[in-house]
Homo-oligomer: A and B are copies of this chain.
Amino acid sequence: MPVNLVPTKAEELLPVKGVALGVAEAGVRKANRKDLLVVRLADGATVAGVFTQNRFCAAPVILCKEHLAQVRPVRALVVNTGNANAGTGEDGLARARKSCAELSALLGCDSAQILPFSTGVIMEPLPVDRIVAALPLALADCRENNWANAAEAIMTTDTVPKACTRRTKLGGKSVTVTGMAKGAGMIHPGMATMLGFVATDAAVSRDALQKMLAQATARSFNRITVDGDTSTNDSFILIATGAAGASAIDSERHPDYAALAAAVTEVAVWLAQAIIRDGEGATKFITVQVQGGKTEGECSQIAYAIAHSPLVKTAFFASDPNLGRLLCAIGYAGIPDLDVGRVKLYLGDVLVATDGGRNPAYREEDGQRVMQQSEITVRVELARGAAETTVWTCDLSHDYVSINADYRS
């Protein structure tokens, strides 16, 4: 059961002109489930991407970077679940290339104009022939009003599809931003086991789009963690078709840049938070704010020390205000000159610790009251500077262990 996550209704997911999506059942790993998605882009669409930092990055990630570096425009994306095509060496690259080549042949373009994505089990050969066989079915299904099916087709251990839409006005013209993502485990700041696809019918140059994507990522997918595992396949793609007819945003200084960037970031934050709300086994959604740091980097170190601590996460699962574990995590976050006597720790609105120890006015029942909630904010004040950061995580439950012990079986 995801935590306070109401999936967006299919009719509320607005199509983006110039982006057609089609799904099929390719039988990559299991029969009778949507596991293949093709996204066709109209002429003139620009595409930007950010990818995992994992050195064992997947074959499709390598190809995506290669293809995005080319001059020719991207014409289509092909996404499969059930198999990550990661840790598969040269053979994996050849299989990813084959899926691009076959799709490009069907579309009459060059294979470098296709971006491939895979997610699922690592280190197993991609059954590319089954994918190729299903491509015509996915193409036949392609239509603009198909985001709900597409969001379902990219799910792995997700329990609900994750997609949302925002609208904004650019110079008097209405534009749409619609996005979807998948991911529930192997989720880490740099980014997450996730695939994310956001499209807009605004017109944006390649460079401006890449900047917008980087900014949105920094505030969304790079602020979440379920288990601290950085996936081999993380990819987040931003598409701008220009079909709405608004003036082309060619740089950060364009008057419409900020408004569109805000809408894109809003969609990305919604999707990133949805991933945490649907985190494997999650029963609580936890916001960790660290304020008053010297640098944003040290705020992040402390925020992630808290967000990664299995002891903190099991305490949240148990609704047990065993809050010494939070102090402990702050203490080992690796800030050598941290003066713990100046640190303040809040749980929701309750001041738990101050002056290096428990707040004398703290009462266990106050902590207990906050711990019972399904949305909890932990706030740490360092009192050594003006930097701050926020990250989102979930608790660690029995179901996390069950899901990951049983994933392949």
Interface residues of A (CB under 8 A from B): 53-57, 84, 86-92, 121-125, 185-186, 188, 190, 227-232, 308-311, 314-315, 317-318, 320, 322-325, 327-333, 335-336, 338, 340-341, 353, 355-358, 396-398, 400-402, 404-409
Contacts and interface: CB of A to CB of B under 8 A. Distances in A.
B185 A327 contact: no
8 contacts: A55-B333, A55-B338, A87-B358, A123-B358, A124-B358, A227-B311, A229-B309, A320-B409
Contacts of A358: 87-89, 123-125
Contacts of A54: 328, 331-332
B356 A232 contact: no
A190 to B, nearest CB: 7
A353 B53 CA distance: 20
A404 B315 CA distance: 7
B407 A322 contact: yes
Contacts of A329: 229
A268 to B, nearest CB: 21
Contacts of A230: 328, 331-332
A51 to B, nearest CB: 13
A257 to B, nearest CB: 32
Interface of A is mostly: loop
A122 B227 CA distance: 24
A232 B320 contact: no
Contacts of A322: 121-122, 407-408
Contacts of A405: 314-315, 317-318, 320
A55 B310 contact: no
Contacts of A122: 322, 324-325, 327-328
Contacts of A121: 322, 324
Contact of A401 (B314, B328, B335): B314
Contact of A398 (B190, B402, B409): B402
B310 A87 contact: no
Contact of A232 (B232, B315, B328): B328
Nearest to A54: B331
B355 A89 contact: yes
A273 to B, nearest CB: 21
A333 B190 CA distance: 12
A351 B121 CA distance: 19
Given A54-B332, A328-B56, A400 B310 contact: yes
Contacts of A407: 320, 322
A369 to B, nearest CB: 17
Contacts of A186: 311, 328
Q: For A84, A229, A333, which residue has the most chain B Cβ atoms within 10 angstroms?
A: A229
Nearest to A409: B320
Nearest to A333: B55
Given A188-B332, A332-B55, A357-B87, A323 B401 contact: no
B311 A87 contact: no
A195 to B, nearest CB: 16
Contacts of A310: 227-229, 310, 396, 400, 404
